Amino acid sequence: MLRSGASPNAFTFPFAIKSCAALSLPITGKQLHCHVFKTGLANNVLELYKEMESKGFCPDPVTLVGVLSSCAHLGALSVGKEVERKMEGFGFSSNPFLNNALINMYARCGNLKKARDIFDGMPVKSVVSWTAIIGGYGMHGQGEVAVELFDEMIRGGIKPDGTAFVSVLSACSHAGLTNKGLDYFGVMERKYRLWPGAEHYSCMVDLLGRAGRLNEARELIESMQVRADGALWGALLGACKIHRNVELAELAFERVIELEPTNTGYYVLLSNVYTEARNLEGILRVRMLMRERKLKKDPGCSYVEFKGRVHLFFAGDRNHPQTNEIYKKLNELENLVKDLDGCKKNDHERREEYLNSMGVHSEKLAVAFALLNTRKETEIIIIKNLRICGDCHLFIKLVSKIVDRQFVVRDATRFHHFKNGFCSCKEYW
């Protein structure tokens, strides 16, 4: 169908994905799932659900699992809560598949406590249940808890599968538990007869790269027995940005665009590496390459749920009905941040550099909107489609101290919990 030039719609994907399930083709299923988001149809796997309800059809557990999965990816917490209420009304509360989906939904929507409550309340926990809660703690940067849960699962006699190892390795990476991650990777094959796939190697490259062990990460890629994919070289490229290794970043970029030539995220990553190194020639080269290939950077967007509605913001956005109040509030916050006692000089310099080159990012607008419209005791949850930048991270961290509020930001890779001037990531993201 694609080769003939026809475009898939919201009704095409469910049939194709169900076929993947029937044929046990998880990789193809993931690719289709990614295609759903790229074509902008993710909001629909929810619009169809609402349409079904409006016509009087009662959802079954399989339908609700799909809806909860969409809520998890979109951060649609209010819809997820509504589904949980429906579960109780239809007598589905004890359904293990739905409870696993609920754990994942609450964790990915920022409410880790609720996810843990559901997990603890399950009388029987499968490896899927354990994996969901381990992955949740990993996303929120609580690697130590994720590791404890993984070890508890094994002590309870449940054998981890490949997906469980992905969750725990990712948790180790986000929390900087390098040696623990290496230990887990070692026992996968030796003890459990599980051969690492590309996703496990990606976690290990990320783990080693974040720890500054870039040469080991590169050697791992070159020595592994599975074919390297874009995520592997992309993980190394991301680590090069953290540690400002221009030479290795250029090598990783060459490899990754051979595999994913149209993925603009990798071009932006290399450009950021050059920016950190103040390499203007490199920045211009990347821009020329993107122009030649007719590639455009994905626009950054952030959104906040408020009173059952999603309020979406793009960088420099002035389309919201409260635009004037939002920018006034943001200007007030910027001035307070600049004057904050204890803010280091180099922090100020870094912020000014980012502000001059990047303008107003979407998460700042979301922060200002949320402060204007929510009560002081309300935790503010923001969902962002890209990785949070250094300026916005510092900004929200300082704002959380100034206004004495808690912010939870889910970016493209993890959660950041901001409170009293600190972030849960401990500057390790």
Taking only the tens place, the pLDDT of each residue in 162-217 is: 999 999 999 999 999 999 999 999 999 999 999 999 999 999 999 999 999 999 99
Positions in the chain whose pLDDT score sits under 50: 345, 351, 354-358
Helix/strand/coil (H, E, C) string of the chain?
Answer: CCCCCCCCCCCHHHHHHHHHHHCCCHHHHHHHHHHHHHCCCCCCCCHHHHHHHHCCCCCCHHHHHHHHHHHHHHCCHHHHHHHHHHHHHHCCCCCHHHHHHHHHHHHHCCCHHHHHHHHHHCCCCCHHHHHHHHHHHHHCCCHHHHHHHHHHHHHCCCCCCHHHHHHHHHHHHHHCCHHHHHHHHHHHHHHHCCCCCHHHHHHHHHHHHHCCCHHHHHHHHHHCCCCCCHHHHHHHHHHHHHHCCHHHHHHHHHHHHHHCCCCHHHHHHHHHHHHHCCCHHHHHHHHHHHHHCCCCCCCCEEEEEECCEEEEEECCCCCCCCHHHHHHHHHHHHHHHHHCCCCCHHHHHHHHHHHHHHCCCHHHHHHHHHHHHCCCCCCEEEEECCCCCHHHHHHHHHHHHHCCCCEEEECCCCEEEEECCEECCCCCC
At 147 the pLDDT is 97
307: left (phi over 0), alpha (psi -120 to 50) or beta: left
Distance CA 171, CA 138 (A): 4
Closest to 418 in 3D by CA, of 429, 182, 29: 429
196-298: CATH topology: 1.25.40
Per the listing, tokens 């998460």 go with: 363
Distance CA 177, CA 162 (A): 19
At 418 the pLDDT is 96
The backbone torsions φ and ψ at residue 230, rounded to the nearest 5 degrees and listed phi first, read -60, -35
pTM score > 0.85 for this model? no
Q: Report domain extents, the chain.
A: 196-298, 301-423
Distance CA 77, CA 294 (A): 36
At 395 the pLDDT is 94
At 97 the pLDDT is 94
At 396 the pLDDT is 96
At 357 the pLDDT is 43
Find the Cα–Cα–Cα–Cα dihedral 334, 337, 343, 348, rounded to 10°. Answer: 0
Cβ pair 207, 181 in contact under 8 A: yes
Per the listing, tokens 């996810």 go with: 115
**96-135 confidence digits (pLDDT tens):** 999 999 999 999 999 999 999 999 999 999 999 999 999 9
